[in-house]
Structure 1
């Protein structure tokens, strides 16, 4: 690990699923999470030498060593997710993002801002508050000289779980042409990304980049699942059981998020049996290896994986975009 060519800071680290996805070619310089129980899992799997447990607002830039190639931030999503109350980035939990961003701003003033930043969140960020949150975020980035673009990646491309997430990739350098596209392209620039970009002021859009990502190979789709989902009907919330046979499980969420306790159906002729999805099976849906150590209790394990990022998605982004951006000659000098 000490010889890894790329370095990073990991914010809102949870159990270190982004770290798992980045892999051995990356060396963590610093990690942070507010949740002590998640931090225990992080230590169990990755050690605690670089882990700081506490509120991101309480962190001093002096705690962040050197200059990292990448800052990864999977900031709390409950205030903008479909499972939350859609309070937007001003919500108490999602406002943690601005605690993270003040650190990046300070590092920038010190001349040691990371070369790349990845902001991961639910796709609801693209249209929360009518798109105002995303526009305000992009205006901040443009004022500070960042070039950026969003991709929407569903974990279902890699694992049998529907888990669409938005990844906003930031760079200070003008990227090489082979890493960009002239316009949006499926499957990573869906209508939500296109509409969010279209709402940006023209001056902000000049900072936008349509990132080029290759689609992964098709995967096996032999799966059926049942999951509980909260639906709003006539202005009231109702819990419903939904069955799908399209080879994709519902999005794993925390135990309070509506569909974390999913069930598997086994259909054998006229017989149909069901059982709840185990935490280990949930971890596999997140692309985690069986060697990954989960919390002892089911609730804690489901909370950990329900708040995480799918590791194969991170690996694909690293392989297709982040690592190429950091290689010598992959960027043009910014004017």
Structure 2
């Protein structure tokens, strides 16, 4: 006879974890877990997500201990780990992480425990590049800062050589460049807002390409990808990938579904099928009443203000205003300011009710994070974190098409010897 799914998962977990470890993970006492295991009381179906999450953690820990990772990577400007999650899905092992924001590091540590996790350092600016562990792939969603162009133009006019230090020092991109120069990874992936292409009339992006291609000697490819292929959100971001040698990499290998999901697929379900997540409990969704918690519905004052604000700008011929979203919608881009009024994505609740914000759990889903992803911070911080994050399935898909070329470069390195030496002024 086939075991009920929760009991089957419990018995799988018991092969890796003690009863006390399971009890701590699912938020129950050890006697309750013992009764489930003996069959004295049924193991609740609501615990399936928690037990699956525990098994996944065990699998990651075992893989890390066994050294079975296909490649090693570092995670810079890590945020809450969206890029990392996409590369771990293809067998990558994170060996170094940097994130300066304390709230983001709290979320990061909560979701990437154990399994050989390296120390998570804060600000990368003061960290010596030589102390960064060797790695095969560098990942970074670096912030966009102004670049000094005048010095470069003057040196070009005089015919004098210059390195990326002169061009980019004082920006966070410099820290990416200096680590690439020191460690020479087989590949890198950098992510930024679409406007990086047009910043300072395109000169900022020209400096980035010049640094990566001419100064550091990498083969570079870039493309703007819209997250709505994978989640119900219009979110365009530029992805820059580079390889230490020549490859056959092509963006044409991406698998981008023409029709992505719609908003209804990530909203809390009020028909009794919304999963009970032990790490959320009823924080976002009242499972007894089968409704989203009322606090996410806009107050009368805020709703009146947003309507008046939109009417004012319509009268002036502007397009500013709130964005009403329906189950069949693709939403506007979720921003880090969403916690202020939620105006870019308001969920329609019928004519009789005021609209509501997305809950943080729905924001996680909108960014492509699984329900096993923990949200240990306040709603305000959670909105900021998801608004600053990446659409995780986009990263997973780019990782998929990068990996064969990374493996080829690593195989060539093994065959022909050490990494090619870097000379900035050769």
TM-score after normalising by structure 2: 0.58
Decide whether aligned partners of structure 1 residues 115 and 329 sit closer, same or farther in structure 2, where only a CA change above 3 A counts: closer
State yes or no: 1:221 paired with 2:304.
Answer: no
Is 1:137 the counterpart of 2:208 in the alignment? Answer: yes
2:182 corresponds, among 106, 112, 115, to 106
Pick aligned residue for 1:96 from 172, 175, 192: 172
Residue 19 (structure 1) aligns with: 84
Q: Which residue of 2 aligns with 1:301?
A: 382
The number of aligned residues is 280
Give 1:124 deviation, angstroms: 0.5
Q: CA deviation at 1:305?
A: 0.8
**Aligned Cα root-mean-square deviation (Å):** 3.5
Larger C-alpha radius of gyration, 1 or 2? 2
1:260 and 1:302 in contact (8 A); partners too: no
1:218-297 alignment runs, 5 A limit: 218-221=259-262, 223=264, 240-243=321-324, 247-255=329-337, 262-267=345-350, 271=352, 273-297=354-378
Instruction: Say whether residues 1:172 and 2:254 are aligned partners.
Output: no
Once the 2 structures are TM-superposed, how far is the Cα of residue 272 of structure 1 from its aligned partner? 5.8
Higher strand share: 1
The whole-number CA distance in structure 1 between the counterparts of 2:409 and 2:209 is 27
Give the corresponding residue for 1:85. Answer: none
Any idea what the Cα deviations from partners look like across 1:120-178, whole Å, max 9, x if unmatched? Answer: 000100110000000111111222211101111111010001111000111121113xx
For 1:255 and 1:13, locate their aligned partners in 2 and report how far apart those are by CA, in whole Å. 19
Residues 164, 133 of structure 1: alpha-carbon distance in 2 compared, 3 angstrom cutoff: same
**In 2, Cα distance between the equivalents of 1:258 and 1:251?**
15
1:128 maps to which residue?
Answer: 199
User: Quick check: 1:76 aligned with 2:143?
Assistant: yes
How far off its partner does 1:43 sit?
Answer: 0.6
Equivalent position SS for 1:328: helix
Shift of 1:65: 1.6
Q: Give the C-alpha shift of residue 96 in structure 1.
A: 1.4
Separation in 1 of the partners of 2:204 and 2:230?
29
How far apart are 1:215 and its partner, in Å? Answer: 2.4
Matches of residues 21-40 of structure 1 in structure 2 within 5 Å?
Answer: 21-24=86-89, 25-40=91-106
Superposition deviation, residue 241 in structure 1: 1.3
Report deviation, 1:105: 1.5
Once residues 333 and 261 of structure 2 are traced to their aligned partners in structure 1, the CA distance between those partners, rounded to angstroms, is 18
The Cα shift of 1:75 comes to 0.7
CA distance in 1, matches of 2:237, 2:131: 29
TM-score where L is the length of structure 1: 0.73
- Match of 1:250, SS state, is coil
